[in-house]
Amino acid sequence: MYGDLALQLVTSSHRSTLSTTPQLPLPKYALPLILSICLETRQLGQSITSAAEQHGQVSLSQDRSLVCNLTVQHLSARRNKRCLLAYLSTRVGGIKERWWDSGGSLAYLLSPSSSSTMNNSDPSAINSSESESAGDLRNNLSPQELDFLRGYNNLMIDYKSDFLDVLDLTSSIDRPPSELMVDVRVLKDAGEVVLEGGEKLDFRKGERFRLNRSNVERLIVQGYLEEV
């Protein structure tokens, strides 16, 4: 029946929202399904148009049976559109979530190693077709979604800039800060890093520091530092 494919799309998307992972899972973009839904919708559109041409105005206002049929087709087409947009919209939410969680680091998000540290990847599920692919974010997003991510990154860079002289908008807001300092060990070389107050430090692997939490949160998220 019309709308069945769209229902599949929405159901699978909904299932991902029920996941208990810290972030919304972003499985591979369902391109084949989306193309099929768009095709079905175009066919509905053509069917409606040709019926309208074929029957003329009089029939359209008087033949209730015809109107009913066309109504069903029309509703089905609209339903498909809604399902498509809801699917895209939900994924957009997941994409934005990842951007904020990474502290706004686009390069980190798009690098191949990012997803394995950020998602709870279950090794046994890697080969199952249902599970979220352990591949990187870059592979799972459609080209349009990647464009969106880049565009959003640009938007946020602009917005952040107004506040940057005083604070970094993308620092975590999970809970209000209770301790000022945190002990960290450097896991991989990060080179010279400029901290929020202007101080410069050389982060070499193996070194330990005691720093303001706000300065190093992002580096912890990205795996350069670990809390000791």
Partner 1 sequence: MSFFDDEDDDPLSPPTRPAPNENYGMRASSSREGSVSGSSSFLDRLRSTVSPPPAQSHSHNERSRASASIFDESNTSISGREYGGSILGEGEEEEDGMGLGLGLGQGLEEEEDEEDMNDVKRLGKIWVRERGTPELGEWKGELIDQVFDKLEQQQKMVNTLRSDPQTSEEEHFKLMLVQTEMERVKYLVRSYVRTRLHKIEKFAHHITLSTDMHHLLSGAELSHARRYTELLHTHFQHSALDSLPEWLRKMDDTYGDGLSMVSKPNRNTPVLIYCRKDCGEITLEGGERAALARGTTHLVKYKLVDRWINLGWAEVL
Partner 2 sequence: MDDDYYSLNSILAENHKLSCSFTLDVEGLGYLEGGTENNIHQHSKVELPFWLAQTLSLNEFTTFPLPPPYSNRVKAALNASAQSVKLSNLVGGNGWWYRWGRRIADVLDDEPQADLLNTLLKAFINRLPALQDLSAHHASADHTLPESSTSTTETFRDGMEGDERELFAIGQESGKMTRNWYDSNGSRKGGR
> Quick one: which of 64, 65, 129, 175 contacts partner 1 (CB under 8 A)?
175
Task: Give, to the nearest 10 degrees, the angle between helix 31-62 and helix 4-17.
Answer: 130
Considering only residues 18 to 77 of the shown chain, the ones binding partner 1 according to CB under 8 A are 34-35, 38, 41-42, 44-46, 49, 77
Q: Alpha-carbon distance 173 to 187, whole Å?
A: 24
The nearer residue to partner 2, 16 or 212, going by C-beta atoms, is 16
Considering only residues 75 to 94 of the shown chain, the ones binding partner 1 according to CB under 8 A are 77-78, 80-81, 84-85, 88, 92-93
Among 106, 117, 91, residue whose Cα is nearest residue 9 = 91
Considering only residues 115 to 144 of the shown chain, the ones binding partner 1 according to CB under 8 A are 142, 144
Stretch touching partner 2 by CB under 8 A, among 54-62, 83-91, 94-102, 121-129 = 83-91
Could you tell me the two tokens for 189? 């070389």
Could you say which of partner 1, partner 2, none residue 175 binds, taking C-beta under 5 to 8 angstroms by partner kind?
Answer: partner 1
Residues 50/43, Cβ–Cβ less than 8 Å: no
The nearer residue to partner 2, 8 or 121, going by C-beta atoms, is 8
C-beta of 162: minimal distance to partner 1 in Å? 3
Could you tell me the two tokens for 185? 């060990």
Distances (CA, A) of 203 to 28, 134, 200, 209: 36, 30, 10, 9
Considering only residues 47 to 66 of the shown chain, the ones binding partner 2 according to CB under 8 A are 64-66
Could you tell me the two tokens for 10? 């929405």
Could you say which of partner 2, partner 1, none residue 171 binds, taking C-beta under 5 to 8 angstroms by partner kind?
Answer: partner 1
Distances (CA, A) of 99 to 26, 157, 172, 188: 13, 12, 12, 22
Q: 184: which strand partners?
A: 209, 227
> Quick one: which of 30, 33, 48, 86 contacts partner 2 (CB under 8 A)?
86
> Quick one: which of 1, 18, 58, 180 contacts partner 1 (CB under 8 A)?
180
> Quick one: which of 10, 95, 109, 186 contacts partner 2 (CB under 8 A)?
10
